[in-house]
């Protein structure tokens, strides 16, 4: 392997790793939704990987078009910046709407008590919530089904800003093989880092004493995603 290509691959892997870790939008939404929606490990893995793939594919597609048409890097970066703003606002909107829905759900799910007088005169009081009763195993939740696709759509619009400049070097040398290799290394590193960070964060959440707040899981998830979008849009994370 030529030294130039080796250096480029190491650079692609390093940037993919750091780009993912420094961007909380790459993992926080999945951690929040997996906890709120009680996703299994397999479902969390698949959704995170799918969104990561869409995230990479969007920028690769734009980069290939730019290379084919001879568009300058600065113009492509402008488009990527626009896509980034769009994705950040979409994340903010999704988080806000989900937070509002979560608050409504929590308010309907308030524990309350019913007294019962037994035949022997003893008074028995039991506490329960209605929304957790009468739920059948075969029941499906439409919101649960659409949530991953909302995240996927947001991630397709979300740009991988460092990828396009990296692609330009092998493109300038007219090396399709190098282009594919660099893209694969960057994309693979990004997706694996996303998955690893999500699962480490999930393990950390299990150690926190948050069971008492289960009723507010959806509202907290929405608020977390909302502030994640705010951080991306206004703090440049």
pLDDT per residue, tens digit, the chain (237 aa), is: 578 888 889 998 999 999 899 989 899 999 999 999 989 999 999 999 999 999 998 888 887 777 777 666 667 777 778 888 899 999 999 999 999 999 998 887 655 454 555 555 555 555 545 444 443 334 444 444 788 889 998 988 887 777 777 777 666 676 788 888 988 999 999 999 999 999 999 988 877 777 677 888 899 999 999 999 999 888 876
DSSP notation for 139-198: ---HHHHHHHHHHHHHHHHS--TTHHHHHHHHHHTT-HHHHHHHHHHHHHHHHHHHHHHH
Range of the domain at 12: 3-235
Strand partners, 127: 113
Tell me, what's the pLDDT at 140? 46
What are the E-state strand segments in 59-134? 112-117, 123-128
Tell me, what's the pLDDT at 109? 62
Rounded Cα–Cα distance for residues 190 and 177 (Å):
20
Tell me, what's the pLDDT at 72? 66
pLDDT in tens, 225-236: 999 999 988 887
pTM of the model: 0.79
Tell me, what's the pLDDT at 113? 55
Tell me, what's the pLDDT at 225? 94
In the chain, how many domains are there? 1
Tell me, what's the pLDDT at 134? 40
Rounded Cα–Cα distance for residues 189 and 120 (Å):
68
Q: Is 31 helix (H, G, I), strand (E, B) or coil?
A: helix
Tell me, what's the pLDDT at 135? 38
Rounded Cα–Cα distance for residues 44 and 34 (Å):
6
């Amino acid at each position: 392997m030529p030294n130039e290509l080796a250096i480029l691959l190491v650079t692609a892997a390093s940037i993919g790793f750091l780009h993912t870790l420094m961007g909380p939008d790459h993992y926080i939404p999945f951690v929040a939704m997996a906890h709120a929606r009680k996703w299994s490990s397999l479902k969390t893995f698949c959704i995170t990987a799918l969104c990561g793939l869409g995230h990479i594919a969007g920028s690769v597609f734009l980069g290939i078009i730019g290379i084919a048409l001879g568009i300058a890097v600065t113009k492509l970066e402008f488009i990527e910046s626009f896509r980034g703003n769009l994705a950040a606002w979409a994340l903010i909107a999704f988080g806000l709407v989900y937070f509002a829905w979560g608050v409504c759900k929590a308010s309907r799910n308030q524990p309350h008590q019913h007294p019962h007088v037994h035949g022997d005169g003893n008074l028995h009081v039991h506490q329960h919530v209605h929304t957790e009763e009468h739920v059948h195993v075969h029941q499906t939740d439409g919101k649960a089904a659409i949530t991953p696709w909302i995240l996927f759509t947001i991630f397709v619009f979300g740009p991988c800003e460092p990828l396009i400049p990296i692609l330009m070097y092998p493109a300038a040398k007219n090396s399709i093989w190098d282009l594919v290799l660099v893209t694969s290394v960057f994309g693979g590193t990004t997706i694996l880092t996303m998955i690893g960070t999500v699962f480490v964060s999930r393990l950390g959440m299990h150690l926190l004493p948050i069971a008492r707040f289960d009723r507010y899981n959806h509202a907290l998830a929405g608020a977390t995603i909302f502030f994640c979008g705010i951080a991306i849009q206004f703090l440049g994370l």
